[in-house]
Amino acid sequence: MDWDIQNANSIHFFGDSLTAGYGTLPQYGWIYQISRRCPAIQYYNHGLCGAGLEDIFDSLSLFLSSPHENTLFFMMGGTNDILSGIRVTHLEKMMLSEINKLNKKIPLCIGIPPLMTPLSITTGWQTHFAFTKNNKDLKNYGSFLKANCIDLDILFIDFSTAFPLDNAWYSDGIHPNEKGYSKFADIAAPYMSI
């Protein structure tokens, strides 16, 4: 379905801690920042810290049982799955199957998660030996999402290439800091506001 921001009255955001705004106070989360820029649209953040793709799709599926006129849906996930050691091929199959179904039912935008910095090792999110593999997997997953969103004509926001891969923007090497979430808002706002 088409992403029609001009006629939207609400956007529901589903995802993990990157969507929830983990690492900052609520008023510094990127979705809240977008909502302040465009009060004409209602923004609902359903981001869940620690959520894997399956959790995100389960949460989103609850909204599909009733019609939502002039409502848009955003989802981003996969980072926690990769950090947990789930194979990228498994994530790709699940994601492709789900977005294919969802795209026929709701106006959908997919977020491509940002890459991680070595600070994520220091802060305890992952081990040194897993870092390179996890970032490679996250990059490949992002490329897969981008290619399939183009093929399926689904709007996507590529945080993996638009967001600076520098510790100055991260609170812990995975989650943006206050300045980083402001950058997230700048990247997403053209697609999320009137």
pLDDT over 90 (residue 66) = no
Q: Which long-range contacts (CB under 8 A, 24 or more apart) does 153-158 make?
A: 153/103, 154/99, 154/103, 154/108, 154/109, 154/110, 155/3, 155/108, 155/109, 155/110, 155/191, 156/109, 156/110, 156/111, 156/112, 157/109, 157/110, 157/111, 157/112, 157/187, 157/188, 157/191, 158/112
d(CA 34, CA 22): 16
pLDDT at 69: 85
pLDDT at 62: 87
d(CA 29, CA 97): 30
Q: Is 116 helix (H, G, I), strand (E, B) or coil?
A: coil
Question: Quick one: what percent of the chain has pLDDT higher than 70?
Answer: 99
Largest CA distance in the chain: 48
pLDDT at 24: 93
| 192 contact partners, CB below 8 Å, separation of at least 6 | 5, 11, 34, 38, 41, 43, 74
pTM for the structure as a whole: 0.96
In which band, very low, low, confident or very high, does the pLDDT at 160 lie, cut at 50, 70 and 90?
A: very high
Please, what CATH class does the domain formed by 5-192 belong to? Answer: alpha beta
pLDDT tens column, 94-150: 999 999 999 999 999 999 999 999 999 999 999 999 999 999 999 999 999 999 999
pLDDT at 33: 96
For residue 45, what is the DSSP state? Answer: E
Phi-psi sector, 78: left (phi>0), alpha (psi -120 to 50), beta: left
pLDDT over 80 (residue 89) = yes
